[in-house]
């Protein structure tokens, strides 16, 4: 599989924007209760895990053709 690694890492970096609901300040402080905050924390971590594993999977696929 041919893979443009620079494009892949650019897209991966863009994927970090998915963390905004968790890290972005407008949502955090005053009116977000604990259960929702915990849910967002864990789901954003899991989102990052899946994204990272996906990038690594694509890198493995790319290596097999080299």
Residues found near another protein in the complex (CB under 8 A): 9, 12, 23, 25, 28-29, 32, 34, 37-38, 41-42, 44-46, 48-49, 52-53, 55-57, 59-60, 63-64
Q: Which two tokens stand for residue 47?
A: 């989102």
Q: CB 64: neighbour CB atoms within 10 A?
A: 7
Give whichever of 18 and 45 is closer to another protein, judged by the CB atom: 45
Closest CA to 20 of 53, 43, 50: 43
Contacts of 19 (CB under 8 A, 6+ apart): 44, 47, 48
CB of 16 to another protein, least distance (A): 9
CB 63 to another protein: min, Å? 5
Q: How far is the CB of 4 from another protein (least distance, A)?
A: 15
């Amino acid at each position: 599989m041919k893979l443009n690694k620079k494009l892949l890492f650019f897209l991966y970096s863009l994927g970090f924007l998915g963390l905004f609901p968790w890290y972005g300040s407008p949502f955090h402080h005053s009116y977000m209760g604990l259960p929702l905050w915990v849910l967002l924390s864990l789901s954003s971590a899991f989102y990052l895990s899946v994204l990272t594993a996906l990038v690594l999977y694509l890198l493995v696929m790319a290596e097999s053709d080299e």
